[in-house]
Amino acid sequence: MIRFTTTLALLLALTPACAAEARIIVQQSPLAGFQYYDGKVLWDNMRVGDTLTLVREPQNPHDTNAVRVDWNGQSLGYVPRRDNRDVARQLDRGTPVQARIVNLKEARNPWQRVEYEIFVDLPVTRP
């Protein structure tokens, strides 16, 4: 598997100067910890396509690479530990990493309820 940092650097290098707007999806995952946060209360208001905010928590006592996922200022859960190292690194570097909801599913298993993607929009340049 190619790492997020390597993939982003390669795609930026290969993007021609006259390229149209592009979005690079770097990760799609289920949301971790949904059952412990505000998601149950917010569920009826959440929609596919809604913007999510990624919040670094370097002082998190459980994981120094923790990245919290918020919706409209409310905590929904976290980027899963197995997927958070590269995202945390990019956020720490100031890379404009964004996220949005891609699937909402009424499921008993909280790991199946919210799926999101993390992406980077490439800047638009014109000749």
pTM of the model: 0.79
CATH class of 23-121: alpha beta
Biggest distance spanned by C-alpha atoms of the chain: 52
Q: Measuring CA to CA, which residue among 66, 80, 77 is closest to residue 43?
A: 77
Residue segments in the chain with a per-residue pLDDT below the cut of 50: 1-2, 10-13, 15-19
- Give the pLDDT score at 4: 53
- Give the pLDDT score at 39: 81
- Give the pLDDT score at 31: 94
b or e along 33-51 (b: 16 or more beta carbons within 10 Å of the residue's beta carbon)? bbeebbbeeeeeebeeeee
DSSP state of 111: G
Where along the chain do its domains lie? 23-121
What are residue 33's phi and psi, to 5 degrees?
Answer: 80, 10
- Give the pLDDT score at 55: 97
- Give the pLDDT score at 2: 43
Rounded CA Rg of the chain = 15
